[in-house]
A and B are shown apart, each in its own frame.
Chain A
Amino acid sequence: MLFHARRALRKSAKAASKILPRKFAGSDVIFWLVILFLFMPLIVLFVYSFNASRSGEWKGFSLIWYQKLFTESPDLWKAFENSALIALTSALMATMLGTLAAVGTARYSFALKSYVATMSFIPMILPEIVVGVSLLVFFAGVGLKLGLISVWIAHTTFNIPFVYLLVSARLAESDPTIVEAAKDLGATEIQTLFKIILPMALPGIASAFLTAITLSLEDFVITFFVSGPGATTLPLYIYSMIRFGVSPVVNALSAVMVAGTVLLVYPLRNFLKVFAAR
């Protein structure tokens, strides 16, 4: 197909450019300095998480903060639970809504199509604080008590545009004649959707779902406004720990989270490259 031919062509051009000798690469020096800059804070946190002292001074190796993290921090684990629950459910909801809308706008034209496309674009370019404040005012207006439900609604809302975008991009690449063929052979709309369209878009849907989970776990600003008692998420919990007396337990928690990120991202690195360089 044309798409693959284009990619192959680009690959060979790139391969050729790599054989050509490069002299001094100032950009590489800058790149490694930036990596050092990006990692330095994470490394400092990691080292401090093993510090026996509370302050920034090194007083010897200790695992006490890890022990406190895993055995004496029930609130923290409750917050983690809330975060995981919200992330999974909001990503699921956003993926369903976003995927359906992407399929609809990719295959048909209809009266409200440009409305759907625009509405799916604007939330992404608005500052988070505006989205958060408007949702808070809205929830107050309709009388919804702030809690897990309001956080779930907010997270689903900011996740939808990303799902819509990623799935649309995937659908735009797939071959429309296959769908036509299925129709000609007598498939119903539902059959076409579940047997042809969704399987073809699956990589896009999967990456959309993962993106939504990440965005949800990460979000602080919007959650800060729409969360209420009993709905503390992990970022909100870390925030309160920073604001009201730093405990080195945060160091241990951060180290665990960074290690988790590394373990999750490293096996995905080639997959990521394919996506980023598409």
Chain B
Amino acid sequence: MKRNYGFAYAAPQALWLTVFFAAPILIIIVYSFLKKGLYGGVEPQFSLEAYSALANPTLLAVAFRTLWVSVAATVLTILIALPCGYSIARARNQAVRLFLVIVPFWTNFLVRIYAWIAILGNEGFLNHALRFLGFRAEGYQFLYNQGAVILVLIYMYLPYAILPLFSTIDKFDFSLLEAARDLGASRMQSYVRVMLPNIKPGIFTAVLFTFIPIFGAYAVPLLIGGKDSYMLGNVIADQVTKTRNWPLASSISMTVTLITAILVFLFALRKPKEQKLVRDQEALSQSVSGGAA
């Protein structure tokens, strides 16, 4: 008789994730419906205050800015990453090219942010170079604005988009492109109408890998942006650590989570569910191991 040890194997992990992941998220959900305590913390009293506070115009402005910055950065990242993934997939020296993408990807996150401060700062590389070339001596302020935030976000997440796109495009049968050309399609048509539909799973993974972290971005807007480039992540952090308004921090977190979930489901619903989840997980695991193994 075959005994079923499945639960015995899975129990330690299930327990860990229940205690250290599910429970904290549940607490956040509960807190978002409670009253703010006088000295931080919460009072055990039902209240929708934290959600009505979301309608605050300042907060709404931050929310729309976050959405705008995330969409802009994600779209630009994917548009840049597509030809890169294609180029690696068709190259003879794939390993070397992947290596070149992975080195910046593996370099510490904060080191990369710091590098951009060293370049764009008021006393940074770019200003010194411009001064040397005879531009105005007082320099330009490149940092602390939304353009800089988007630029650095694209820089941070490009490898996250390139790797899954490469791994999908690499499996694409390029002879289909030749066939499309033979049947009279233009070069662009063959890419857009033959290749793009075939690499949709890769694009899906790439969008998830860039949009989600950018939408919850905290460090980049804090260090690269100014007051006018604050994103929802910064508001959450401030509410937790400075203002100590935990219900509001929770309700904003719930909003961010909901928007993320909606995005995931919008993509996931387009295909039969089970098959889709398996395929996404495969794509994910490939790009994860491609990136960091």
Contacts and interface: CB of A to CB of B under 8 A. Distances in A.
A56 B87 contact: no
Nearest to B139: A56
Contacts of A55: 123
A30 to B, nearest CB: 4
A123 B118 contact: no
Query: Chain B's interface: helix, strand, loop or mixed, by majority?
Result: helix
A278 interface: yes
B292 A210 contact: yes
Interface stretch (B45-53, B56-64, B106-114): B106-114
Contact of B287 (A38, A273, A276): A276
B250 to A, nearest CB: 8
A128 B110 contact: no
Contact of A254 (B114, B178, B218, B277): B114
Nearest to A96: B12
A26 B84 CA distance: 10
Contact of B106 (A39, A113, A125, A214): A214
B13 A100 contact: yes
B233 A129 contact: yes
Interface string B92-127: 101111111111101111111111111101011101
B42 to A, nearest CB: 9
A242 B113 contact: yes
Interface residues of B, number: 113
Given A41-B116, A55-B123, A257-B108, A133 B13 contact: no
B83 A27 contact: yes
Interface string A162-205: 10111011000000000000010000010000000000000000
B111 A127 contact: no
Q: Which of B2, B98, B115, B289 has the most CB of A within 10 A?
A: B289
B194 interface: no
Interface in B143-182: 155, 158-159, 162-163, 166-167, 170-171, 173-175, 178
Given A189-B5, A211-B292, A38 B101 contact: yes
A27 B177 CA distance: 15
Contacts of B175: 13, 16-17
Interface in B225-263: 233, 236-237, 240-241, 246, 249-250, 253, 256-257, 260-261
Interface string A37-56: 11111101100100000011
B88 interface: yes
Contacts of A126: 25, 212, 257, 260
Nearest to B278: A172
A100 B6 contact: no
B104 A119 contact: no
A62 B86 CA distance: 42
Contacts of A64: none
A42 B107 contact: yes
A185 B231 CA distance: 60
Interface of A: 10, 13-14, 16-18, 20, 22, 25-28, 30-31, 34-35, 37-42, 44-45, 48, 55-58, 96-98, 100-101, 103-105, 107-113, 115-116, 119-131, 133-138, 140-141, 153-154, 156-157, 160, 162, 164-166, 168-169, 183, 189, 207, 210-211, 214-215, 217-218, 220-221, 224-225, 234-235, 238-239, 242-243, 246, 250-251, 253-254, 257-258, 261-262, 264-266, 268-273, 275-278
